[in-house]
Amino acid sequence: AKDLVEFKNLETHFHTSAGIVKAVDDVSFTIREGETLCVVGESGCGKSVTAMSLMRLVEMPPGRHAGGEILFEGKDLLKLSKREMSRIRGNEIAMIFQEPMSSLNPVLTIGEQITEPLALHLLLDRKAAKKRAIELITLVGIPRAEEIFHSYPHELSGGMRQRIMIAIALSCDPKLLIADEPTTALDVTIQAQILDLMRDIKRKLNTSIMLITHDLGVVAEMADFVVVMYAGKVIEEAPVLEIFKDPQHPYTKGLLKAKPIINEKKERLYSIPGQVPNPVDLGDNCHFHDRCEFCMDICRTKLPPLRVHGDHNHKTACWLYEEEGKAQ
Ligand code: SF4
Ligand code: MG
């Protein structure tokens, strides 16, 4: 498949009273056409900020684009004018968030909220916009679309609201759908339904999906390709089967152990000992070294490069796989 988005050495920084936080620190990875790429990591690892950078939503202080490129079909989004960018945001890249209630306007009907972007970006007249809205409501699996069209957000359940958000996101037929923890606020059954819906949409519309999650169960269900982030950096990336069968980075291995084991009487939870490092004083070292049971001298003083080890699609940033580390 063709490359749709290429992050190249992206740097996104926040200037805080405690110092500069490199929320996204030299991040590179690629999203291909028709692929679901999951960005996984604990909260604060930089996965949401990476998506916000792609949407150009961190340009206000204290956030700052500090380096690198984000190529979308070969064009650097970070160099576009505000106007060009808002056209791309409406037409080619759409985003859904964790809490649909906060993104829907409580005083407008569902119909008004779906038809607004259709009128604005696709210049449809009222009748055509309504017809398209009804199609979209049906597409996201909601029965009695006509009735829902005239409802207000508070009249719908959380799962229905998230379906509506997906309908709005799809209204302009985007090439890329960004979903930031889209099911975290929903209960398990509804979560499974929304994930089914997203898979279905990807199949029908060939939309690429950038799915941000801390939940490896979601990754296993959804991903084609996985990018693991830790403290602002990509520490491992590989096709989904590789990540689950042959994880390389000690952090990824820890995350996999942290995955709740389904079908056991009790959920077994494993948590990786130690804490995420303070984001303002990260050095040129492996940011995971304080928590790593394999930590060597070199890990404390030198940044491990993200490199291919084994399968050509599988990259890991860890000294265990480098000659310099093996020599220790
Ligand atoms: Fe552990 Fe060193 Fe690998 Fe970091 S580079 S994960 S500290 S072994
Ligand atoms: Mg987040």
Q: What is the mean pLDDT of each run of 10 residues along the chain (328 residues)?
A: 96 91 96 97 90 88 88 96 90 84 87 90 89 95 95 93 92 93 85 92 93 92 96 97 96 84 50 80 92 96 95 95 86
Protein residue whose Cα sits closest to atom 5 of ligand 1: 318
In this predicted structure, what is the pLDDT of residue 260? 62
Could you identify the atom of ligand 1 that is nearest to the CA of residue 293? 1
Q: Is 286 in the pocket of ligand 1 (CB under 6 A)?
A: yes
**What ipTM describes this predicted complex?**
0.95
Q: Which DSSP category does 155 fall into?
A: G
Residue 206 vs residues 60, 226, 305: alpha-carbon distances, Å: 33, 18, 33
Q: Is 309 in the pocket of ligand 1 (CB under 6 A)?
A: no
CA 304 to ligand 1 centroid distance, Å: 8
CA 49 to ligand 2 centroid distance, Å: 8
Helix (H, G, I), strand (E, B) or coil at 323: helix
In this predicted structure, what is the pLDDT of residue 328? 77
Q: Is 250 in the pocket of ligand 1 (CB under 6 A)?
A: yes
In this predicted structure, what is the pLDDT of residue 267? 46
Q: Of 2, 287, 327, 31, which is closest to residue 179 (Cα–Cα)?
A: 31
Q: What are phi and psi of 40, to 5 degrees?
A: -125, 150
Please tell me the distance from the alpha carbon of residue 15 to that of residue 91, in angstroms, as a whole number. 31
Q: Is 317 in the pocket of ligand 1 (CB under 6 A)?
A: no
Ligand number nearest to the C-alpha of 180:
2
Q: Report the residue among 229, 272, 285, 318 best suited for mutation to probe ligand 1: largest number of ligand atoms under 8 A from its CB.
A: 318
Ligand number nearest to the C-alpha of 97:
2
CA 205 to ligand 2 centroid distance, Å: 26
Q: Is 247 in the pocket of ligand 1 (CB under 6 A)?
A: no
* Domains located in the chain, CATH noted: 3-92+174-326 (3.40.50.300), 103-173 (no CATH)
Tokens of residue 72, six digits: 């979308």
Instruction: Report if pTM > 0.90.
Output: yes
In this predicted structure, what is the pLDDT of residue 144? 94
